[in-house]
Amino acid sequence: MASWHTGRLLTAAARLVEHAFDAGVADLGVTHAGVTVLYELAHGPLPQRELAVRCGVQDQTMSRTLDGLERDGLVARRRDTADRRRILVERTDDGALVMEHAEAIGEARLAPLADNTSPESAVVRRMLIRVIQEYGGFRGRCPGDCK
């Protein structure tokens, strides 16, 4: 791995972390993608298109993710009364409960990465935030808290 370029290292690390998280939340019936959606809906309903942008995915991908979450009763979709062309997505009470459990599982599962106090971790975090911002991900907005 020492000879891998930085992009390959980032991709490999991201996939491994996502797989570890998915394995941890599998018993809840959700994936990393589903948990990301539930997290983004924590402060209220969002238009489906905005949700896709915030999660950094294509509309079609978001639609498939929402289909599963809606089928499982974790989100609900409805027409926006102010603009009938828009679909609003909101988290249900069951979705909030799953999100709460997923956060606890994620914290436990990803504990080895949680040390934000070491100088090395601080450097890695700054670099990752810079990569996200440099590539304009999520309309320049980090999902969740990336400060």
Contact 87, 80 (CB under 8 A): yes
For 14-65, what is each residue's pLDDT tens digit?
899 888 888 888 889 999 899 999 999 999 999 999 999 999 899 999 999 9
Going from N- to C-terminal start, the domains of the chain cover 6-114, 115-147
- Residue 94 main-chain phi, psi, to 5 deg: -65, -40
Token pair of 15 as six digits: 């996939």
CATH number of 6-114: 1.10.10.10
Residue type, 91: R
**For the residues of 79-141, what is the DSSP string, one character each?**
E-SS-TT-EEEEE-HHHHHHHHHHHHHHHHHTGGG---SSHHHHHHHHHHHHHHHHTTGGGG-
pLDDT of residue 147: 46
Q: What is the pTM for the complete model shown?
A: 0.76
Contact 51, 39 (CB under 8 A): no
For 51-108, what is each residue's pLDDT tens digit?
999 998 999 999 999 999 999 999 999 998 999 889 999 999 999 999 999 999 888 8
